[in-house]
Chain A
Amino acid sequence: AQSVTQLGSHVSVSEGALVLLRCNYSSSVPPYLFWYVQYPNQGLQLLLKYTSAATLVKGINGFEAEFKKSETSFHLTKPSAHMSDAAEYFCAVSDPGGGADGLTFGKGTHLIIQP
């Protein structure tokens, strides 16, 4: 069974500082990996996805993530945090074998931006 682990339920950074949100996956085969953001009382918005093409993936709002098979990681970064980045972030994994079998989400990381 696939799973993802997000280290740190809360991460606090200063405005303008580097954002690093950690995600490690557990899967017998390299999976597809996703990062989603959720603002209060809203649905989930896709930030970026890894689907076995380039290992460095660029997403929306200046975020990017790097797939590292040797470390089974898919950490999310942004060079300079903005107040509008404060939200809940979810890493998710799916089976690359095809078929609509749903996503498995990590527990989420709440990103706090300090002024």
Chain B
Amino acid sequence: DTEVTQTPKHLVMGMTNKKSLKCEQHMGHRAMYWYKQKAKKPPELMFVYSYEKLSINESVPSRFSPECPNSSLLNLHLHALQPEDSALYLCASSRDSLSYGYTFGSGTRLTVV
């Protein structure tokens, strides 16, 4: 299995809703990442988990809450989002060395209404 699987593929949520994005990989990778990508822009790093511990939080608002329950699973919990949070949310994984590059999921297209 050489894939990163993200669910759901599309999500529409209201500003008062609570929802979660899920990311799963079975490649034995020990680093997992969340990126946010706005239309026609490059991906921007949000969070990095290394060996199931949060190692980087790029000053992301607290309405985004990451969780790494085990080495194969990464969640992003969403609460009280704003319309400007609408974007493509990409999950990626890598071995603990960056020399192998990343494997990206196909993303969750989030729309906040």
List residues of A whose CB falls within 8 A of some B CB: 32, 34, 36, 41-46, 49, 51, 90, 94-96, 98-108
Query: Is B7 located at the chain interface by the 8 A CB criterion?
Result: no
Q: What bracket does the count of chain B residues touching chain A fall in?
A: 20 to 34
- B106 touching A102, Cβ below 8 Å: no
The SS class assigned to the B binding surface is strand
Question: 9 closest pairs, A vs B, by CB?
Answer: A100-B31, A105-B42, A43-B104, A102-B45, A51-B99, A43-B106, A44-B104, A100-B50, A94-B98
- A32 touching B106, Cβ below 8 Å: no
Chain B neighbourhood of A102, CB < 8 A: 33, 45, 48, 56, 58
List residues of B whose CB falls within 8 A of some A CB: 4, 6, 30-31, 33, 40-45, 48-50, 55-56, 58, 88, 90, 92, 94, 96-99, 101-107, 109
- B109 touching A41, Cβ below 8 Å: yes
Known: A100-B31, A102-B33. Is A44-B43 also a contact (CB below 8 A)?
A: yes
Chain A neighbourhood of B88, CB < 8 A: 41
What are 17 A-B contacts with C-beta separation under 8 Å?
A36-B104, A41-B88, A42-B106, A44-B43, A44-B90, A46-B101, A49-B101, A96-B99, A98-B98, A100-B30, A100-B50, A100-B98, A101-B56, A102-B45, A102-B56, A103-B43, A108-B40
